[in-house]
Amino acid sequence: MKHTEIVVQGARTHNLKDINVTIPRDKLVVITGLSGSGKSSLAFDTIYAEGQRRYVESLSAYARQFLGQADKPDVDAIEGLSPAISIDQKTTSRNPRSTVGTVTEIYDYLRLLYARIGKPICPEHGIEITSQTVQQMVDRLMTYAERTKMQILAPLVEGRKGTHVKLLEDLKKEGYVRVRVNKELRDIDDNIELDKNKSHTIEAVIDRIVIKEGIETRLSDSIESALRLADGRIIVDVIGEEEIIFSEHHACPMCGFSIGELEPRMFSFNSPFGACPSCDGLGSKLEVDLDLVIPNNELTLREGAVAPWKPISSQYYPQMLQSVCAHYDIDMDVPVKSIPKTKLNKILKGSGKEELLFRFESDAGDVREKMIQFEGVLRNIERRYHESSSDYTREQMEKYMTEQPCQTCEGHRLKKEALAVKVATKHISEVTDLSIVQLQNFFNDLTLSPHDAQIAKLILREIEERLLFLVNVGLDYLTLSRTAGTLSGGEAQRIRLATQIGSRLTGVLYILDEPSIGLHQRDNDRLIQTLKNMRDIGNTLIVVEHDEDTMMAADHLIDIGPGAGVHGGQIVAQGTPQEVMANDASLTGRYLSGKEFIEVPSTRREPDGRLLTLTGAAANNLKDVDVEFPLGQFIAVTGVSGSGKSTLINEILYKALVQKVSRAKVRPGKFSNLTGTEQLEKVIDIDQSPIGRTPRSNPATYTGVFDDIREVYTQTNEAKLRGYKKGRFSFNVKGGRCEACKGDGIIKIEMHFLPDVYVPCEVCDGKRYNRETLEVKYKGKNIADVLNMTVEEGLKFFENHPKISRKIQTIVDVGLGYIKLGQPATTLSGGEAQRVKLASELHRRSNGKSFYILDEPTTGLHAHDIARLLEVLHRLVDGGNTVLVIEHNLDVIKTADHVIDLGPEGGARGGTIVAVGTPEQICEVDASSTGKYLAPVLARDKERTKK
């Protein structure tokens, strides 16, 4: 019997409330709901986890031992499951060797293409490297017209100094009559005297031939003689025409540059056969950066201008510097910028072979002197970095180094032999540096010989199909050489989606996590069509999504709620989008139908004249743009995917601001000037990186409220009687914590060949503290009970403590009332981590001179969560601060005071400012893709607001 439905019964994973749900198969199913309502618990932790577990159980016992034991999700039964494939955002590879090309497997096909039809070209002489047989050489020469005169030469010396007397004598003994010396024919019996200090080229004349019928045998014999004498190379001097050079080796006949047999591994930067030996195939190396070594050239040498040699702990290097300055008469009390370049170079690059006196006085007053060759500050940092076995020393040296393109391969990652192989004038790295759209054009315009076309036919079909899949998921601006670690979560997910489409599987259950993240509305239609195509070939798609267009395109919509955390975990509504819209109990339905919506502000904040002006921004694809950022406003930076938003804001503006405002040691992308920074005191980037790398970090510790909570416990009578101080209630220090698990609450059991297993600590039962500490109670609850409370419960519990309740209230304000105060940082999503950071900023006293940057803060948020987030962001702006968001969400863009729209396209066709102004002004610019999609939303919601 064919199952037409996936039936889930009694799902209780995380906050799910024993729910039953029926999901139609071979349909596009969207699961939506508030952030934290239980969407991922149902889709990933229940349905996908069970599908994966059943697949693993179907394998042999031998195979299962390598995969580990998958836990059964807390569910009574699931029927109608297919093999499940999860495409989420968390599994982006951070390996610098992983690129868009390798992840999509397009690079594997490119390697095969180059190995099969690539033409090796000598990098020095630009001629094709081929190995030819004697017969091929004869056939080529016989194509000349009859009576064509030519002479066969054997090249013996090429551009070498010397008299070469012995060579000439040996040729004479072997019976040769003529030689060509420096392009001049000479009789070998002549007294040939060569200047030993000059370079010479000598070729033996093997034969003189006139092309005519029947000359083939003589020609063949002469060529063989020349090849023997000249180690496989000959020159044919065709009288009145250009010379021809032949080689029977796979080498350049001019210079001998040779290439082995072409095979795919030769083009792999992850293989020793192809990787550049200098950078090991990474394309970049850590190099000492002069701007980090001398970050402030206004300082003098005595004031510590040379940052790594500041007199902090050791006096060794400062005294070395004094000795160098004494030797070269360099003034240590003038700003570094005033020191002549030749003298400064002695400090930076060393004394060479010249020795100088190094005088060192120890703390005890002992003086030692010795003559040394000074290596220079730059070489010293490099040497200590490479030679030190101490992680601390290497970390310290890394502060003064930056990733620079490898000089040997110029960032191409491959050996010069691999880069010498061309297809249509481009080597493989030049092809991977093209955007996906340019790559499509390259292959469309590719003209091949019938022989090569036959070989490449299947390879090209695979490449072109995969390129089309990337275009269809809105990634046409990416290059194949882009490293996977630089991709956003949404981009990485859509790449894996494109790879899955390429596999052409059917009958599969695909589970996706917000594939529309980071996608402009313009590209959303193509993504939805791609999902429908996957459905139409016989797959079931379960998509966790908040995007309105995706929800409306669903065959079946499931709304989980009604609230988040403990208030969620129930099926509020399900059915077609229209059925959900008609259900008043569904918050999602009310937003889809327009009964609830995010209002357009009746007035927008007027600029107060304060400006931040950035000029000449030219990193990545930015085309020397100038941008003004009005301070004290809510700014939205918009544009299609790949238009340059992240480069402009994260790589240039943010880094330039922290460099100027916070004196941070960072290197911004290329720009000319930034003015107006004196009006700011703080620059805060609230990104989606974790709030901590270990389970010890949690919302209570990150926001600082845990310090205040511990203070409350020290004021209890029990704590005072026992003499407990604040440290007693910390799980990070000895005293109050459980020493069996060191305050972790869990114990790691190493399984060697299997993944490590974490089990609750048996001594403290997972509570983190020892028995004595847990005996101290406030309002009947101990410190472990407080960490286990949700934020909302904590707010009620500490309502009489204004300092604590104010901090906890900010976590509620950003929509995180459902998370636990002590929830490990490692279990928070990127969106949740970002909002915890936002909450910790909200409770700080602000002077209105802060600049906040948020990159796609609506990731993972329901329309209702976005409404709360906007309230918080506008609260920051009302305090005189500036909030800048990089955003695609039209609900956010429509509430901005000022919009900066980049484009018009992604990649090389982007990088310019298309429009600036209020949302209304953006809508009037025809070239703005954002304006085109924003206009109907603005008009609709303004109409709704009036009603």
Question: Is 389 marked as a binding-site residue?
Answer: no
Measured CA to CA, the distance from residue 571 to residue 46 in angstroms comes to 15
Measured CA to CA, the distance from residue 409 to residue 417 in angstroms comes to 11
Question: Is 37 marked as a binding-site residue?
Answer: yes
Burial tier of 642 (Cβ tally within 10 Å: 0-12, 13-18, 19+): buried
Which residues partner with 570 through β-bridges? 561
Whether omega before 695 lies within 30 degrees of 0, making that bond cis, reads no
Measured CA to CA, the distance from residue 394 to residue 286 in angstroms comes to 12
Q: For residue 597, give both structure tokens.
A: 């919506």
Residue pointed to by tokens 């005595």: 302
Largest CA distance in the chain: 119
CA distances from 886 to 634, 757, 880 (A): 11, 40, 20
Question: Is 645 marked as a binding-site residue?
Answer: yes
Measured CA to CA, the distance from residue 39 to residue 572 in angstroms comes to 12
Burial tier of 788 (Cβ tally within 10 Å: 0-12, 13-18, 19+): middle
Question: Is 353 marked as a binding-site residue?
Answer: no
Identify which of 920, 942, 943 has the alpha carbon closest to the alpha carbon of residue 931: 920
- The string of DSSP codes covering 97-141 is T-BHHHHHTHHHHHHHHHHHH-EEB-TTT--B-----HHHHHHHH
Question: Is 595 marked as a binding-site residue?
Answer: no
Question: Is 422 marked as a binding-site residue?
Answer: no
Question: Is 641 marked as a binding-site residue?
Answer: yes
Question: Is 516 marked as a binding-site residue?
Answer: no
Measured CA to CA, the distance from residue 412 to residue 99 in angstroms comes to 13
Measured CA to CA, the distance from residue 731 to residue 822 in angstroms comes to 11
Residue 564's φ and ψ, nearest 5 degrees, are: -115, 160
Burial tier of 166 (Cβ tally within 10 Å: 0-12, 13-18, 19+): exposed
**Torsion sign over Cα 307, 313, 316, 318:** positive
Question: Is 879 marked as a binding-site residue?
Answer: no
- The string of DSSP codes covering 190-245 is S-----TTSEEEEEEEEEEEE--TT-HHHHHHHHHHHHHHTTSEEEEEETTS--EE
Question: Is 733 marked as a binding-site residue?
Answer: no
User: Under DSSP, is residue 789 helix (H, G, I), strand (E, B) or coil?
Assistant: coil
Q: Would you say 205 and 179 are in contact if contact means Cβ atoms under 8 Å apart?
A: yes
Question: Is 928 marked as a binding-site residue?
Answer: no
Q: For residue 475, give both structure tokens.
A: 């990634």
Residue pointed to by tokens 């911004």: 668
Identify which of 824, 838, 668 has the alpha carbon closest to the alpha carbon of residue 746: 824
Measured CA to CA, the distance from residue 883 to residue 899 in angstroms comes to 12
Question: Is 569 marked as a binding-site residue?
Answer: no
Q: For residue 762, give both structure tokens.
A: 């048996």
Question: Is 39 marked as a binding-site residue?
Answer: yes
Q: Would you say 356 and 322 are in contact if contact means Cβ atoms under 8 Å apart?
A: no
614: CB partners within 8 A, 6+ apart:
626, 627, 628, 629, 652, 653, 656, 671, 673, 674
Question: Is 118 marked as a binding-site residue?
Answer: no
Q: For residue 578, give both structure tokens.
A: 């229209």
Burial tier of 37 (Cβ tally within 10 Å: 0-12, 13-18, 19+): buried
Measured CA to CA, the distance from residue 560 to residue 573 in angstroms comes to 7
Going by the annotation, the residues of the binding site are 33-40, 639-646
Going by the annotation, the residues of the binding site for ATP are 33-40, 639-646
